Amino acid sequence: MTQTKKDFLLRRLRRAGLLCALICITGLLLSATARADEQHLRPVRLQLRWHHQFQFAGYYMAKQLGYYRDAGLDVEIRAGGSDISPVRELLAGRADFGIEGSGLLVDYANGRPVVAVAAIFQKSPLRLVALRDRGISVLSDLSDRKVMLLPGSRSLALIAMLDQAGLLNRIVRVDSSAEVSDLIEGRVDAFNAYNSNEPHILQQAGIEPVVFDPAAYGIQFYSDILFTDLHTAQSDPDLVVAFRDASLRGWQYALEHPEEAIDLIVRQWATDKSRPLLRLEADGVRESVMADLVEIGHISELRWIKIRDQLSGLGLVPKGQALEGFIFRPAQTALDWATAFPYVLGAVTLLAVVFAVMAYVMRKNARLQEEVEQHLAAEQHARDLATHDYLTGLPNRLLLTDRLNRSLARARRHLTTPLIALVDLDNFKQINDRYGHDRGDQLLIEIARQVQQAIREEDTFVRMGGDEFVLLVDHIEPQQADFEARRLMQAIRSASARVAADAPVSASIGLVCVAKAGDITSDRVLRLADDLMYEVKHGSKNGFLVGRYDGSETLVRTVSSLPKMGSDHVSE
């Protein structure tokens, strides 16, 4: 090898060596920088209120996607349980943030320095579940029955619902075992449930549940409230804002990408949970968060005032309890004109400054006006939730109770004849099972649309929950009852043909004409209609029964329209 070639190779080797050294040094510097960044992250501890599940998906995604890290936070997420109180953990210094229900206001009223930061669930996921074959179809049937509730204030929405119905002191309260088998095996008559869990478990076991939703009784409690302590809120509001905003970003992502969130939960957080169960939980969480109606995390002081008043009625919060300091309100940074314009000199720039200020104020006013309109819209949505069904927009049980009571009062004064028709869809479960809950929701929405087009403007069509509806006609000639029933059935058939033609859905309907109102209550009328409906349901389905109430203990049957065996058509 010539000397020239040797020199050339040596130069190439030196260059390669320098390049490798440069790469190694760069890698070391990047690694050191990353470690330094990690060391500068502020540790934060979040205490959940229950075991790891989709209920807390937003926090898992905020951690996984680096939202907390981007905010300068190193977040530890701790599982909860029946013996763990997030409020106690936080006030003992073992957590910086926690998740709690509307009972947080009870803690605040009792002198505990807690501050509500964001309400993740705009609607409580708690439900009271009973079994229809035990003779329970309306809430009043739970009188003198054993009802399982969580200890303390963890079942506040259910307690408030029972109180609203006048049942709180007429039930036999049993501390919850968290095992729905106690309901199935008859040890209790009603069970505290979660909207995405126990009702589906019962249905999968072939058991038909009766589900009572507090929202249908005007109980609009927040749930899964992100909170901190007063000292942190006052001394370090930037930390609270950073953690809140990163968490809400995580929630937005989790709701938009539920399958990705489920993958993460199964892989890292709740390895014992099945994917089908987590998907049901995701549906329930989406229903409670209501992100399509309200900004995620939105807190309304007016809503808290209503919650406070309902808790006052239960004797849990002093009447008129002040809320000052309970809701987190970060201080607004004032505009420092001296810093912003340190070199503004007198008259030379005065005009420019004036125009700049005017433009700024106009932009701020426009932005403020937009925020006010958004908050007003959110407040209106929150008020509508108390009286209307979130999916179909129909009136709910609470509004029905009010209108039915008014209709019965008019019947007593003016001798009118109200009609109540209780509608239960046949074979609706097969839609959800075959095509998923989205198709089932589409069918419910289409039924609401078709029936509202068919009935009169002054009539009230209500979604009671699930696949159960009620029609209230303020006055009707008794012989017209079968016409109303057929009109309902035709509207439901039309809706089914549009949405699920290959899996037709029919209806079982019980109708009651109140010919003599007397002292009958709205609950009693609904129960009579429910009895007729179930007589159809347990017979051949796809038909209706009409009864007339004239003040006696039993109904007078007036019309029976049931299908012949092997026929899908209604006949006399």
Which CATH architecture does the domain made up of 42-123+222-313 adopt?
Answer: 3-Layer(aba) Sandwich (3.40)
Q: What number of residues does the chain have?
A: 572
**Residue that has been written with the tokens 């939703």 in this structure:** 213
- State pLDDT tens for residues 80-135: 998 899 999 999 999 999 999 999 999 999 999 999 999 999 999 999 999 989 99
pLDDT (mean) for 253-258:
97
As a whole-number percent, the residues of the chain with pLDDT over 70 amount to: 85
Q: Which of 429, 407, 545, 419 is nearest to 489 (CA)?
A: 545
Q: Is the pLDDT of residue 11 over 80?
A: no
Q: How confident is the model at residue 479 (pLDDT cuts 50, 70, 90)?
A: confident
Q: What is the pLDDT of residue 328?
A: 97
Stretch 67-75: mean pLDDT: 98
Q: Is 10 left (phi over 0), alpha (psi -120 to 50) or beta?
A: alpha
Rank 244-258, 285-299, 556-570 by mean pLDDT and report only the highest.
244-258
Order of strands across the sheet that contains 73-78: 73-78, 42-47, 97-100, 223-229, 114-121
Q: How confident is the model at residue 75 (pLDDT cuts 50, 70, 90)?
A: very high
Mean of per-residue pLDDT scores for the chain: 87
Angstrom distance (rounded) from CA 82 to CA 151:
9
Q: Is the pLDDT of residue 339 over 60?
A: no
Predicted pLDDT of residue 465? 87
Residues 49, 102 contacting (CB under 8 angstroms) = no
Indicate whether 172 pLDDT > 60.
yes
Q: Is the pLDDT of residue 10 over 70?
A: no
- Rounded to the nearest 10°, the torsion over CA 116, 119, 120, 122 is 160
**Percent of all residues in the chain with a pLDDT value above 90, rounded to a whole number:** 64
List CB contacts of 523: < 8 A, sequence separation 6 or more.
138, 139, 140
Q: Is the pLDDT of residue 196 over 70?
A: yes
What tokens were used for 293? 């109606």
The predicted-structure confidence for 494-519, as pLDDT tens digits, reads as follows: 999 999 888 889 999 999 999 999 98
pLDDT, residue 390, reads 83
Is residue 28 pLDDT above 70, yes or no? no
Position 507 scores a pLDDT of 96
Long-range contacts of 230-236 (CB under 8 A, 24+ apart): 230/113, 230/114, 230/115, 230/325, 231/113, 232/96, 232/115, 233/115, 233/117, 233/328
State residue 33's pLDDT score.
47
Which pLDDT score is estimated for 430?
Answer: 87
Neighbours of 420 (CB within 10 A): 25
Instruction: Please check the confidence at residue 294 and state whether its pLDDT lies above 80.
Output: yes
Nearest CA to 154 out of 50, 6, 299, 235 is that of 50
Alpha-carbon span 122 to 290, nearest angstrom: 7
Confidence of residue 16 (pLDDT cuts 50, 70, 90): low
The pLDDT, as a whole number, for residue 23 is 55
H-only helix segments in 101-180: 104-109, 156-164
- Is 199:127 a contact under the CB 8 Å cutoff? yes
Q: pLDDT at position 476, please?
A: 92
Lowest mean pLDDT among 125-134, 207-216, 346-355: 346-355
Q: Which of 70-74, 499-503, 511-515, 525-529 has the lowest mean pLDDT?
A: 499-503
- Bigger pLDDT: 184 or 196? 184
**Which of the given ranges, 61-75, 287-301, 384-398, 481-495, has the highest pLDDT on average?**
61-75
Per-residue pLDDT band at 176 (split at 50, 70, 90) = very high
Fold classified for 126-217: D-Maltodextrin-Binding Protein; domain 2 (3.40.190)
- pLDDT value, residue 571: 31
Q: Residue 9 pLDDT more than 70?
A: no
Say if residue 548's pLDDT is above 90.
Answer: yes
Q: Does domain 397-561 have CATH number 3.50.50.60?
A: no
Q: Which pLDDT score, from 0 to 100, does residue 560 have?
A: 74
Helix (H, G, I), strand (E, B) or coil at 32: helix
Q: What is the mean pLDDT of residues 122-151?
A: 93
pLDDT at 190 over 90: yes
